[in-house]
Structure formats: structure tokens, C-alpha cells
């Protein structure tokens, strides 16, 4: 996937609609794509896990965001779900709907504490703590290497 086109035609417009646009947020979402799916090369988690799409979000994580965060923020819920394809399941939207996937990735980070760091190194630590989790297999060094290689 051409990450510059992803940035220009998907990430930037989605973050503008969400009213969550910043240079740091754009770079963090791109970095997440680089790390989680090698820049969009994988749609289904390797090894049979539940993660889906270019950001490798698990359906249970998406359901948690929807039921425990967005449900209590109707305006934001409306902006996120303006990207949702009602003719598809949640799982299908997480696999094939780049707009919705991007919105959910950004909202996932938005509900985390602390400002998004400016540097790729800081963002790699933010990703590890908030997206991959401390017990996850990913490493900040991999995030930086994938970001530098793919973007």
C-alpha cells in the first residue's frame, strides 16, 4: 500500500471529520499501520489470531470502544459511524473499510491518557503502552524500524 496516498486520501480526511487532526496523530496512525500490518500487507492476523485490517484491531477491542466509549459520546459516535458500511458486519468493516478502520484506530488512541509524542521513538513507546499493551509481543524498536523502512 502506498502510505503517502493512505495519508492523503484516508487518514487526513478521516481525522478532520473526527476533529482529531494533528501532525502527531497522523504520524501515529501511519506508524501503527507500519507496525501492525507492515504498511497494509495483512488484513487478517498471521497465525490465526482475531486482529483485522491494516491496524490489526481485534473485534473485541472495537466493541469495547463502541460500547464503553463512543456510546457515551453521541456526537463522536455519529462522526465515527459516518464511515461505517451498514451492509457489512463489524468484522467486515474492520477488514475492508479503510475509513472506518482509521477512525477506530484514532479513537482508540484518543481515549488514552497523555499527549501523543512528536518523535517516532516517543510514538513507538506510546503505541506499545496503549495499542500493543505491555504484555504484547511487539517491541518499540520494531515499530521504529518498520516506520523507517515503510514510510
78-113 per-position pLDDT tens digit: 999 999 999 999 999 999 999 999 999 999 999 999
**DSSP labels, 72-91:** G-HHHHHHHHTS--TTS-HH
Please check the confidence at residue 46 and state whether its pLDDT lies above 90. no
> Do the Cβ atoms of 36 and 56 come closer than 8 Å?
yes
Please check the confidence at residue 135 and state whether its pLDDT lies above 90. no
Please check the confidence at residue 23 and state whether its pLDDT lies above 90. yes
pLDDT (mean) for 13-21: 98
pLDDT level of residue 121 (50, 70, 90 thresholds): very high
pTM for this entry: 0.96
pLDDT level of residue 10 (50, 70, 90 thresholds): very high
Residue ranges of domains in the chain: 3-150
Burial class (CB within 10 angstroms; exposed 0-12, middle 13-18, buried 19+) of 96: middle
User: How high does pLDDT run on average in the chain?
Assistant: 96
Please check the confidence at residue 36 and state whether its pLDDT lies above 90. yes
CA distance linking residue 52 with residue 43, whole number of Å: 5
pLDDT level of residue 136 (50, 70, 90 thresholds): confident
Please check the confidence at residue 56 and state whether its pLDDT lies above 90. yes
Please check the confidence at residue 26 and state whether its pLDDT lies above 90. yes
pLDDT of residue 133: 85
Half-sphere exposure of 73 toward its Cβ, with a 13 Å CA cutoff? 14
Burial class (CB within 10 angstroms; exposed 0-12, middle 13-18, buried 19+) of 137: exposed
Amino acid at each position: 500500500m502506498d502510505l503517502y496516498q493512505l495519508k492523503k486520501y484516508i487518514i487526513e480526511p478521516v481525522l478532520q471529520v473526527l476533529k482529531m487532526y494533528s501532525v502527531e496523530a497522523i504520524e501515529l496512525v501511519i506508524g501503527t499501520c507500519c507496525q501492525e500490518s507492515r504498511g497494509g500487507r495483512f488484513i487478517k492476523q498471521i497465525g490465526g489470531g482475531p486482529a483485522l485490517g491494516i491496524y490489526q484491531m481485534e473485534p473485541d477491542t472495537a466493541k469495547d470502544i463502541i460500547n464503553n466509549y463512543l456510546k457515551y459520546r453521541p456526537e463522536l459516535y455519529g462522526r465515527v459511524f459516518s464511515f461505517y458500511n451498514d451492509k457489512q458486519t463489524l468484522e467486515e468493516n474492520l477488514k475492508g473499510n479503510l475509513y472506518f478502520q482509521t477512525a477506530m484506530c484514532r479513537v482508540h488512541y484518543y481515549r488514552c491518557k497523555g499527549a501523543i509524542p512528536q518523535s517516532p521513538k516517543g510514538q513507538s513507546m506510546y503505541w506499545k503502552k496503549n495499542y500493543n499493551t505491555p504484555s504484547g509481543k511487539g517491541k518499540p524498536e520494531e515499530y521504529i524500524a518498520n516506520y523507517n523502512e515503510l514510510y
